[in-house]
Chains A and B, each alone.
Chain A
Amino acid sequence: MNFSDIERNLQQNQHISEDIKKIVYENYYDIYQFLGKRDFLKWVDRERLTLGIRNIIFQTLTEKEDKYLRENPNVLGYHIGPSGPYNKENIVLRRGIKDYKDVNAHEAFHSLADGLGGFNRFWGEGITEFLNKTMYSKSTYSYPKNVEMVYLAYSMFGNIILKDYFQKKGDKFFFHLSKSADDERFQIMMETGERINDSFEEYYNTVYKEKRPTANQFKKADLALKNGIVDLLSFYYMKKQVDIERFRHIKSDKIDFNGFINEQADILKYLKVLDTNRKEYKDIYKQFDFIRKQLIEKMVRNSHFVFNKSEEEQQEIINKVTKDVDSRILSRVSGKYLSIEETYINQNVEEPYRSLNENVTGRLVVSFLYTDDCKDFLSTIRRIADIQSATTEFPTKEIVDTLKVMSGNLGNKRAIAILGNAQTFARNIENISELERQYECDLETPSFKKVQIDGLEEINTYVEFNDRKQFLVLIDKEKGILDRISLNDYSSVSPEFNIYATKNSVTNSSDITSCEIGLPNMHKVTHIKIDSKAQDIEIEGGKATQGLIGGVEAIYEDVLNSVTFKTIEGDIQRGLYSHGMSQEQEVISTVRISEEARSIDIDDFLQDYSEVKKLIPGLDKYNEVFGSLSEKLIDTTFESHLIPEGAPAKQQYEKQKGIMIFDMKRLLCEKQKGTNTADIEVLHECLNSDLDNLNKTVDQAVPRNNAGILVGRGETKSQFLKKAVFKTRENARSSAIRLQAKKIEFLKRGLPGKTNDIGMRDGHGDI
Chain B
Amino acid sequence: MDMEISKNTRIAYAEIDSFIDLLPEKEKMKIPNELVEMFRKEKDKETTKKLSLDIPIEEQNLNDETWNLIALLYLEYLCEDEEEKKELEKIYEENDRKYMQEMKEKYDPDKIFKEREKARNERKNKTKEEIQNLPILKTKENIIQKIIKFINKLFKNKNGN
Residues on A facing B (Cβ under 8 Å): 412-413, 416, 574-576, 579, 583-584, 713-718, 720-721, 723-725, 727-737, 739-744, 746-748, 751, 753-765, 767
Interface segment, B18-26, B133-141, B149-157? B18-26
Chain A residues lying within 8 Å of B93, measured Cβ to Cβ, are 734
Query: 25 pairs across A/B with beta carbons < 8 Å?
Result: A412-B34, A575-B25, A576-B25, A715-B54, A717-B22, A723-B57, A724-B57, A727-B67, A729-B95, A731-B95, A732-B68, A732-B95, A736-B64, A743-B5, A746-B3, A747-B42, A753-B3, A753-B4, A757-B7, A759-B7, A760-B8, A762-B6, A762-B9, A763-B63, A767-B3
Q: Tell whether, in the assembled complex, residue A717 and residue B24 are in contact, meaning their CB atoms are under 8 Å apart.
A: yes
Please report the C-alpha to C-alpha distance between residue A315 and residue B99 in the assembled complex, in whole angstroms: 65
Chain A residues lying within 8 Å of B2, measured Cβ to Cβ, are 754
Q: Tell whether, in the assembled complex, residue A748 and residue B4 are in contact, meaning their CB atoms are under 8 Å apart.
A: no
Interchain Cβ contacts within 8 Å, total number:
157
Chain B residues lying within 8 Å of A747, measured Cβ to Cβ, are 5, 38, 42
B96 within 8 A of A: yes
Partner of A733, one of B5, B7, B68, B70: B68
Which residues of chain B from 77 to 96 have any CB-CB distance to chain A below 8 Å in the complex?
78-79, 88-89, 91-93, 95-96
Q: Tell whether, in the assembled complex, residue B89 and residue A755 are in contact, meaning their CB atoms are under 8 Å apart.
A: no
Q: Tell whether, in the assembled complex, residue A744 and residue B92 are in contact, meaning their CB atoms are under 8 Å apart.
A: no
Q: A574-B21, A733-B96, A756-B4 are in contact. Are A740 and B65 (CB under 8 A)?
A: yes
Distance in Å from the Cβ of B11 to the closest Cβ of chain A? 10
Partner of B68, one of A574, A737, A756: A737
Q: A727-B58, A763-B6, A767-B1 are in contact. Are A733 and B25 (CB under 8 A)?
A: no
Smallest Cβ-Cβ distance to A745: which chain B residue = B3
Chain B residues lying within 8 Å of A748, measured Cβ to Cβ, are 34-35, 38
Please report the C-alpha to C-alpha distance between residue A754 and residue B95 in the assembled complex, in whole angstroms: 29
The listed residue with most B CB atoms (<10 A of its CB), out of A716, A718, A721, A751, is A721
Q: Tell whether, in the assembled complex, residue B4 and residue A727 are in contact, meaning their CB atoms are under 8 Å apart.
A: no
Q: Tell whether, in the assembled complex, residue B70 and residue A717 are in contact, meaning their CB atoms are under 8 Å apart.
A: no
Q: A746-B3, A755-B6 are in contact. Are A736 and B65 (CB under 8 A)?
A: yes
Q: Tell whether, in the assembled complex, residue B64 and residue A756 are in contact, meaning their CB atoms are under 8 Å apart.
A: no
Distance in Å from the Cβ of A324 to the closest Cβ of chain B? 37
Please report the C-alpha to C-alpha distance between residue A619 and residue B72 in the assembled complex, in whole angstroms: 41
Q: Tell whether, in the assembled complex, residue A756 and residue B5 are in contact, meaning their CB atoms are under 8 Å apart.
A: yes
Q: Tell whether, in the assembled complex, residue A763 and residue B65 are in contact, meaning their CB atoms are under 8 Å apart.
A: yes
Smallest Cβ-Cβ distance to B35: which chain A residue = A744
Partner of B53, one of A579, A720, A743, A760: A720
The listed residue with most B CB atoms (<10 A of its CB), out of A733, A735, A743, is A733
Distance in Å from the Cβ of A592 to the closest Cβ of chain B? 15
Q: Tell whether, in the assembled complex, residue A754 and residue B25 are in contact, meaning their CB atoms are under 8 Å apart.
A: no
Distance in Å from the Cβ of A708 to the closest Cβ of chain B? 13
Q: Tell whether, in the assembled complex, residue B72 and residue A740 are in contact, meaning their CB atoms are under 8 Å apart.
A: yes
Smallest Cβ-Cβ distance to A756: which chain B residue = B4
Q: Tell whether, in the assembled complex, residue A729 and residue B75 are in contact, meaning their CB atoms are under 8 Å apart.
A: no
Please report the C-alpha to C-alpha distance between residue A737 and residue B90 in the assembled complex, in whole angstroms: 13
Chain A residues lying within 8 Å of B67, measured Cβ to Cβ, are 727-728, 731-732
B109 within 8 A of A: no
B115 within 8 A of A: no
Q: Tell whether, in the assembled complex, residue A733 and residue B95 are in contact, meaning their CB atoms are under 8 Å apart.
A: yes
Please report the C-alpha to C-alpha distance between residue A735 and residue B9 in the assembled complex, in whole angstroms: 15
Q: Tell whether, in the assembled complex, residue B23 and residue A721 are in contact, meaning their CB atoms are under 8 Å apart.
A: yes
Known contacts A748-B35, A755-B6; 18 additional CB pairs below 8 A are A412-B34, A413-B37, A715-B53, A715-B54, A727-B58, A729-B88, A731-B67, A731-B68, A732-B67, A733-B92, A736-B68, A737-B72, A740-B65, A740-B68, A743-B3, A744-B35, A747-B38, A753-B5
Q: Tell whether, in the assembled complex, residue A733 and residue B3 are in contact, meaning their CB atoms are under 8 Å apart.
A: no
Chain A residues lying within 8 Å of B99, measured Cβ to Cβ, are 733
Q: A412-B33, A734-B89, A735-B96 are in contact. Are A724 and B19 (CB under 8 A)?
A: yes
Chain A residues lying within 8 Å of B78, measured Cβ to Cβ, are 721
Residues on B facing A (Cβ under 8 Å): 1-10, 12, 19, 21-25, 27-28, 33-35, 37-38, 42, 52-54, 56-58, 63-65, 67-72, 74-76, 78-79, 88-89, 91-93, 95-96, 99, 103
Please report the C-alpha to C-alpha distance between residue A762 and residue B12 in the assembled complex, in whole angstroms: 12
Please report the C-alpha to C-alpha distance between residue A583 and residue B79 in the assembled complex, in whole angstroms: 22
Please report the C-alpha to C-alpha distance between residue A756 and residue B5 in the assembled complex, in whole angstroms: 6
Partner of A763, one of B9, B22, B57: B9
Q: Tell whether, in the assembled complex, residue A755 and residue B5 are in contact, meaning their CB atoms are under 8 Å apart.
A: yes
Distance in Å from the Cβ of B68 to the closest Cβ of chain A? 4
Please report the C-alpha to C-alpha distance between residue A584 and residue B9 in the assembled complex, in whole angstroms: 30
Chain B residues lying within 8 Å of A576, measured Cβ to Cβ, are 25, 28
Chain A residues lying within 8 Å of B21, measured Cβ to Cβ, are 574
Q: A412-B33, A737-B71 are in contact. Are A714 and B6 (CB under 8 A)?
A: no
Q: Tell whether, in the assembled complex, residue B53 and residue A717 are in contact, meaning their CB atoms are under 8 Å apart.
A: yes
Please report the C-alpha to C-alpha distance between residue A727 and residue B70 in the assembled complex, in whole angstroms: 10
Distance in Å from the Cβ of B78 to the closest Cβ of chain A? 7
Chain A residues lying within 8 Å of B79, measured Cβ to Cβ, are 725
Chain B residues lying within 8 Å of A753, measured Cβ to Cβ, are 3-5, 42
Q: Tell whether, in the assembled complex, residue A723 and residue B8 are in contact, meaning their CB atoms are under 8 Å apart.
A: no
The listed residue with most B CB atoms (<10 A of its CB), out of A723, A724, A727, is A724
Partner of B25, one of A416, A579, A725: A579
Q: A584-B24, A737-B75, A741-B72 are in contact. Are A727 and B5 (CB under 8 A)?
A: no
The listed residue with most B CB atoms (<10 A of its CB), out of A583, A725, A734, is A734
Please report the C-alpha to C-alpha distance between residue A760 and residue B72 in the assembled complex, in whole angstroms: 19
Partner of A729, one of B7, B54, B91: B91
Please report the C-alpha to C-alpha distance between residue A583 and residue B5 in the assembled complex, in whole angstroms: 34
Q: Tell whether, in the assembled complex, residue B53 and residue A416 are in contact, meaning their CB atoms are under 8 Å apart.
A: no
Please report the C-alpha to C-alpha distance between residue A574 and residue B18 in the assembled complex, in whole angstroms: 12
Please report the C-alpha to C-alpha distance between residue A716 and residue B57 in the assembled complex, in whole angstroms: 12
Please report the C-alpha to C-alpha distance between residue A743 and residue B95 in the assembled complex, in whole angstroms: 21
Partner of A725, one of B4, B74, B96: B74
Smallest Cβ-Cβ distance to B93: which chain A residue = A734
Q: Tell whether, in the assembled complex, residue A756 and residue B24 are in contact, meaning their CB atoms are under 8 Å apart.
A: no
Q: Tell whether, in the assembled complex, residue A732 and residue B24 are in contact, meaning their CB atoms are under 8 Å apart.
A: no
Distance in Å from the Cβ of A636 to the closest Cβ of chain B? 13
Q: A721-B27, A756-B4, A763-B9 are in contact. Are A740 and B69 (CB under 8 A)?
A: yes
Please report the C-alpha to C-alpha distance between residue A730 and residue B62 in the assembled complex, in whole angstroms: 13
Chain B residues lying within 8 Å of A757, measured Cβ to Cβ, are 6-7
Chain A residues lying within 8 Å of B88, measured Cβ to Cβ, are 725, 728-729
